[in-house]
Amino acid sequence: MEEIKSDQTVKEQPKKKSGFRKFLRWFVFIVLLTGAVAFWWKYYFVFGEGVKSGELNYVVKKGYLWKTWEGKMIQRGNKEMMASNEFVFSVKSDSIAHILEQNSGKCFDLHYKEFLGVAPWRGNTKFIVDRVDKIKELSDCGVR
């Protein structure tokens, strides 16, 4: 047998990383990515948008931790159907809320976005009003 000379060094193999650690890192990454996508889908994905018309019932700023603007609009029915619907909404910005406050009791065409979830910092409803399209007098609002 050959003897190993003292001046020869034996090269050590680098330690192989644990397969479990690699799996764990990927697993945590995928869980966090999935959670982030689910959070975005629930609170920031716009499910629908449109315009609703009706008479403004009220708009108030309320909340325990986050003060948000909340409102209700009455949508009138036609002469055959005397039923009316309520549209409960949150308001995106202070400037829009102040327009609604200053014109209380009038009819509005409000543009809104509908989200899949209610985010407490955005409001108490899934419907968020982001602009006022028209302001009309009650006589122009429809059935009265």
pLDDT tens figures, 27-77: 999 999 999 999 999 999 999 999 999 999 999 999 999 999 999 999 876
Percent of the chain residues topping a pLDDT of 70 = 81
Task: Please report the domains of the chain, with CATH numbers, ordered by start residue.
Answer: 46-140 (2.40.50.140)
Contact status, residue 115 vs residue 128, Cβ threshold 8 Å: yes
For the entire predicted model, the pTM comes to 0.75
Is a pLDDT exceeding 80 seen at residue 90? Answer: yes
How far out from the chain centre does Cα 123 lie? Answer: 9
* C-alpha distances in Å from residue 69, one per residue of 16, 21, 32, 130: 58, 48, 32, 12
Q: What are phi and psi for residue 40, nearest 5 degrees?
A: -60, -45
